């Protein structure tokens, strides 16, 4: 059975405000500052590997050692906060997954920290749709490498990757599979062969590319 592999933030979920609130809450507890980061700063970092987010946002604000320590605490608290408050699936995502489930093997590969995918799946009730997932926190490699490793581990021969950024496009190319641009998401992509302007369009594209 062919597979559809998804990015998470901007493709399946919009957790930007949850992440922003969680970071400022934990940093307020640590520093006394009630608003360390703006929502725009958090938005600018979504989709990047956790190590890159720490370099881009936390280290310039707090210095090398403390920045890394605060970044680690913020990432851990973020997972607990989203698990408690509930992730925000993008409108139409649950229906899309329901239509794909049973026809394709479904997976998630994301640059997020360990536990973030699990928090999304458990809080949204979408865990039964997926056969597996890989996060940067579990496997600190490039997204392209993690897609390729997942395919090898799961014995996936035919697949496509759905994502919303140029990094997702590059990652799919690295893994040697077609890319579907989720243009309803956060990022901008040029030259994508396949494009979904809303989640409900993904099943038709999957059928065109993978069959079934």
pLDDT band at 173 (very low <50, low <70, confident <90, very high): very high
- Indicate if the alpha-carbon torsion angle 183, 189, 190, 193 is positive or negative: negative
- Which tops the pLDDT comparison, 35 or 153? 153
Q: pLDDT band for 50, please (50, 70, 90 cuts).
A: confident
For a pLDDT cut of 90, what percent of the chain falls above it? 94
pLDDT tens figures, 129-150? 999 999 999 999 999 999 999 9
Q: Are 186 and 43 in contact (CB under 8 A)?
A: yes
Return the number of other C-beta atoms located less than 10 Å from residue 17's C-beta: 12
Other Cβ atoms within 10 Å of 83 Cβ, number: 16
pLDDT digits (tens, 9 = 90+) for 103-132: 999 999 999 999 999 999 999 999 999 999
Residue pair 22/74 in contact by the 8 Å Cβ criterion: yes
What pLDDT sits at residue 5? 98
What is the average per-residue pLDDT within 180-190? 95
Q: Of 148, 166, 195, nearest to 5 (Cα)?
A: 148
> How high is the pLDDT of residue 82?
97
* Confidence category of residue 66, pLDDT binned at 50, 70, 90: very high
At 127, phi and psi to the nearest 5?
Answer: -55, -40
* pTM, rounded to two decimals: 0.95
Least confident stretch, 7-16, 47-56, 154-163, 175-184: 47-56
User: What proportion of the chain, given as a percentage, has pLDDT over 70?
Assistant: 100
pLDDT confidence of residue 182: 98
């Amino acid at each position: 059975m062919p597979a559809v592999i998804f990015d998470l933030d901007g493709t399946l979920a919009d957790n930007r405000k949850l992440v922003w609130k969680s970071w400022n809450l934990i940093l307020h507890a640590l520093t006394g500052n009630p608003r360390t980061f703006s929502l725009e700063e958090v938005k600018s970092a979504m989709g990047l590997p956790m190590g890159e987010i720490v370099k881009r946002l936390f280290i310039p604000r707090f210095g090398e050692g403390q920045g890394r320590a605060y970044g680690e605490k913020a990432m851990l608290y973020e997972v607990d906060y989203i698990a408690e408050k509930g992730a925000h699936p993008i409108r139409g995502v649950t229906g899309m997954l329901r239509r794909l489930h049973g026809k394709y093997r479904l997976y998630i590969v994301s640059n997020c920290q360990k536990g973030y995918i699990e928090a999304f799946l458990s809080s949204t009730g979408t865990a039964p749709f997926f056969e597996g997932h890989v996060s940067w926190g579990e496997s600190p490699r490039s997204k392209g490498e993690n897609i390729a490793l997942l395919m090898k581990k799961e014995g996936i021969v035919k697949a496509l990757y759905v994502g919303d950024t140029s990094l997702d496009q590059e990652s799919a190319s690295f893994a040697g599979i077609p890319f579907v641009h989720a243009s309803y998401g956060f990022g901008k992509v040029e030259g994508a062969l396949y494009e979904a302007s809303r989640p409900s369009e993904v099943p038709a594209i999957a059928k065109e590319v993978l069959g079934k």
